[in-house]
Amino acid sequence: MYKNFLRYLISAFFLLGLGTSANAEFKVGFVYVGPTGDHGWTYQHHEGRNAVEAAGIKTTFVESVPEGADAERVIRQLAQSGHDLIFTTSFGYMDPTNKVAKDFPNVKFEHATGYKREHSNVSTYSARFYEGRTLLGHIAGKMTKTNTIGYIASFPIPEVIRGINAMTLAAQKVNPNIKTKIVWVFTWYDPGKEAEAAQALIDQGADIIMQHTDSTAPVQTAEKAGVWSFGQASDMQRFAPKSILTSIIDDWAPYYVERAIAARDGTWGQQDTWHGLKEGMVAMAPYNSAMGSDLVKEVEQLQKDLASGKTHSFTGPIYDQKGNMLVAEGKVADDGMLAGMSVYVKGVEGDIPK
Amino acid sequence: MSLDISFIGILIGSIMASSVPLILAASGELITERSGVLNLGVEGMMIIGAISGFALMVLTDNLFIAIVGSMLSGIIISLIFGFLTQSLLTNHVATGLALTIFGIGLSAMLGKNYVGIPGKEFPVLFSGLKEIIPFFGPILFGHSVVLYFAFTLPFLTNYFLKKTKLGLVVRAVGDSPVSASNQGINVILIRYSCILYGGAMCGLAGAYLSLIYTPQWIENMTAGRGWIALALVVFATWSPIKVLIGALIFGGITILQLHMQAIGFRIPVQFLSALPYLMTIIVLVVISRDSRKIKLNTPTSLGRIFYKEK
């Protein structure tokens, strides 16, 4: 009996030894707000993770982590279990990420779409989705017959408001009669509710459905009702082949690989990244031929101009709903203003929920 | 905004469609609870039904098999609950919660390969009449067979509990399993059957989501509807007709608040979002305030473990 006990003890020591040596290996952790199978936001982050893995770096991920107390626990756990770099991929992880970063100065943190970098080991990164929204607005303004664009919004944060504004400004430019109707669903991900919101907007006369939520339900509802729609975060074309005009695609892979390698090689430094069409972090899915070749050409040109910086999504004069000037004629909005955007531009109906 | 009569018809039609999963799951759970078993696993059984239905649709390309399969899978998973609570006498609340967590995890695992596959169009009945008749057309016609079933179910349930002998037996088992057992009723068998029936209805409710309402499989797609169904049963004080009313109010206000937003009502959106929950509770509490009737309908031994001494 004692012999066996000794044997267990020895093997336990060996296992422990193996365990610590495994911990020394460079590891990257990912925290997702939705399931990897949402075919939207989280799916694209997961694709980015796959690219990191393909580059020969070990990764771990935790999916469907609610934004709240759970988030901090999960991030802390990843930090404790020997991860060297942790990507937290939703706006609501902002405070938890900074809190954990304080306690783990040797672990590096990358928070998506946030603006708080309270410690030197926290970087932030986001994509200029609004550039894609500008293209959608241009297309929507040209394609709508009812002059009503339906917009399913998630939470009243700058990123979402920026998208609504960019889209509306671009649509107004090509069609001054445009109206943007907005429904706030207060969720990133609830297919049933998103479908209901899309249906409500369609019933209210919208013939273009746009979403800032993560599931494919809105485009499917649009397909069923025979109105146009745009995919969000990834190419949703196969869910609504007739209805989808194009999708905004978030491509995180190059950034994730670059940062992971930098962290492994010790060249990682704190930064605030905001990439767009130019760097390819925002990309457009193929345009639907139903748009007509003229419009496709127009939009492709606009896409090039946005990428090269010749055109900016927020070029003055821009007024808010009350008529106050936000951006003067001939000027463009600076990044600070874009990052904190919390008012609607003229032409958007309704109030922003407070 | 056009508030004409045909628009209201369309609106009511979409309200009905959105309440179907709540009606099905709550009606099933109601029978389970009336037999004295509290199964908190509604959400888990629904999500299992959703993935099984969708997977079978993809594999067999046959919607009938998919629907029946989703009910069978609901039965199988509720059998686990039944075995644990009835044969091994585990705590109902803990086991039900575990069932939900298990169901969500298992469905995500089973569903890995079914993500991103577009669903198939589910046939609707009388779609021609829907277009022809204004107002009543979109309310009465052009729905799936599951919707028609869901809207008859509360009445059937009511009839079953009040007018049939078996219904009386179920109620007796839920109120006083000891007396029922002394009368020679096999309490465990009745409870098992009610659990399995609840499982079947929850499975069907899940399949309605993944095959008909938003035809696709995505993880966690029930998004808390199982919990709302559970709450409905309690607030409806275990009356099938009130479950129907509650589900319609909940679905109705969910859809109405979206419309109010789209129209641009100047009411805080957060308040509008909370409105379905608030109104459903208020209405159900008001219509069920007769305490004598509540006592009549409440299964007295709900959630209590019963075992027969041998």
Is residue B10's pLDDT more than 60?
yes
| Tokens encoding A155 | 């939470």
Q: How far from the centroid of its chain's Cα atoms is residue A252's Cα?
A: 9
Closest CA to A162 of A313, A295, A331, A315: A313
Question: In angstroms, rounded to a whole number, what is the distance separating the alpha carbons of residues A137 and A311?
Answer: 14
Residue in chain A nearest B2 by alpha carbon? A204
**Tokens 């000891």 belong to residue:** B178
pLDDT computed for residue B216 by the predictor: 86
The answer to whether residues A276 and A285 touch, using CB atoms and an 8 Å cutoff, is: no
pLDDT computed for residue B290 by the predictor: 77
pLDDT computed for residue A300 by the predictor: 96
pLDDT computed for residue A1 by the predictor: 45
- Total domain count, chain B: 1
pLDDT computed for residue B62 by the predictor: 92
pLDDT computed for residue A144 by the predictor: 96
Residues of A in contact with B266 (CB under 8 A): 350-351
Is residue B150's pLDDT more than 90?
yes
Shortest distance, CA A265 to any CA of chain B (angstroms): 34
Q: Is B225 on the interface with A (CB under 8 A)?
A: yes
Question: In angstroms, rounded to a whole number, what is the distance separating the alpha carbons of residues A190 and A213?
Answer: 9
A230 by DSSP, 3-state: which? strand
Q: Is B136 on the interface with A (CB under 8 A)?
A: no
**What average pLDDT score do residues A30-38 get?**
86
Closest CA to B211 of B114, B73, B75, B119: B119
User: Is residue A60 very low, low, confident or very high in pLDDT (cuts 50, 70, 90)?
Assistant: very high
pLDDT computed for residue B48 by the predictor: 97
pLDDT computed for residue A19 by the predictor: 43
Q: Which amino acid, B144?
A: S
> What are the pLDDT digits (tens) for A105-140?
999 999 998 889 999 999 999 999 999 999 999 999
Task: Provide the 10 A C-beta neighbour count for residue A119.
Answer: 17
pLDDT computed for residue A146 by the predictor: 95
A248 by DSSP, 3-state: which? strand
pLDDT computed for residue A4 by the predictor: 60
Asked if A196 lies within 8 A of B262 by C-beta distance, the reply is: no
pLDDT computed for residue B269 by the predictor: 78
pLDDT computed for residue A194 by the predictor: 93
Torsions phi, psi for A279 (to 5 deg): -85, -10
Predicted TM-score of the model (pTM): 0.81
> What are the pLDDT digits (tens) for B87-146?
999 999 999 999 999 999 999 889 888 887 877 888 888 877 777 787 788 888 888 999
Closest CA to A322 of A303, A297, A348, A340: A348
**What average pLDDT score do residues A280-293 get?**
94
DSSP-derived secondary structure letter, B237: T
DSSP-derived secondary structure letter, A347: T
Is residue A295's pLDDT more than 60?
yes
Q: Is B270 on the interface with A (CB under 8 A)?
A: yes
Question: In angstroms, rounded to a whole number, what is the distance separating the alpha carbons of residues B174 and B299?
Answer: 5
**What average pLDDT score do residues B25-54 get?**
96
Q: Among the ranges A24-38, B190-204, B219-233, which has the highest mean pLDDT value?
A: B190-204
Is residue A5's pLDDT more than 70?
no
pLDDT computed for residue B197 by the predictor: 97
A113 by DSSP, 3-state: which? coil
Higher local confidence (pLDDT), B164 or B282 = B164
Asked if A217 lies within 8 A of B115 by C-beta distance, the reply is: no
pLDDT computed for residue B299 by the predictor: 87
The answer to whether residues B149 and B125 touch, using CB atoms and an 8 Å cutoff, is: no
Is the Cα torsion angle A333, A334, A335, A341 positive or negative in sign? negative
Residue B276: inside a domain, yes or no?
Answer: no
Residue B289: inside a domain, yes or no?
Answer: no
ipTM of the complex: 0.77
Residues of B in contact with A190 (CB under 8 A): 223-224
Torsions phi, psi for A69 (to 5 deg): -60, -35
pLDDT computed for residue B218 by the predictor: 83
**What average pLDDT score do residues B147-174 get?**
95
Residue B269: inside a domain, yes or no?
Answer: no
| CA angle centred on B189, ends B186 and B190, rounded to 5° | 85
Residue in chain A nearest B3 by alpha carbon? A204
Cis before residue A158, ω within 30 degrees of 0?
no
Q: Please report, for residues A285, A292, B272, B276, the alpha-carbon distance to residue B280 in angstroms, rounded to integers and kept in the order given.
A: 43, 48, 13, 6
> What are the pLDDT digits (tens) for A248-282?
999 999 999 999 999 999 999 999 999 999 999 99
CA-derived radius of gyration, chain A: 23
A125 by DSSP, 3-state: which? strand
DSSP class per residue in A169-221 = HHHHHH-TT-EEEEEE-S-S--HHHHHHHHHHHHHTT-SEEEE-SSSSHHHHH
Domain ranges in chain A are 16-127+252-275, 129-242+282-339
With pLDDT > 90 as the criterion, what percentage of chain B qualifies? Answer: 59
User: Is residue B34 very low, low, confident or very high in pLDDT (cuts 50, 70, 90)?
Assistant: very high
pLDDT computed for residue A172 by the predictor: 94
**What average pLDDT score do residues A180-197 get?**
90
Q: Is B165 on the interface with A (CB under 8 A)?
A: no
Q: What's the whole-number average pLDDT of chain A?
A: 90
Strands (E) in chain A, as ranges, are: 27-31, 58-62, 85-88, 108-112, 122-127, 148-153, 179-184, 208-211, 228-231, 244-250, 272-275, 282-284, 318-319, 325-327
Question: In angstroms, rounded to a whole number, what is the distance separating the alpha carbons of residues B244 and A133?
Answer: 42
A62 by DSSP, 3-state: which? strand
> What are the pLDDT digits (tens) for B220-231?
888 889 999 999
**What average pLDDT score do residues B38-54 get?**
96
| Tokens encoding B155 | 């009445």
Is residue A3's pLDDT more than 80?
no
Residue in chain B nearest A234 by alpha carbon? B116
CATH class (in words) of the domain with range A16-127+252-275 = alpha beta
| A16-127+252-275 against A129-242+282-339: fold identical | yes
Asked if B219 lies within 8 A of A37 by C-beta distance, the reply is: yes
Q: Among the ranges A185-189, B131-135, B230-234, which has the highest mean pLDDT value?
A: B230-234
CATH class (in words) of the domain with range A129-242+282-339 = alpha beta
Asked if B261 lies within 8 A of A184 by C-beta distance, the reply is: yes
Is residue A6's pLDDT more than 80?
no
pLDDT computed for residue A22 by the predictor: 45
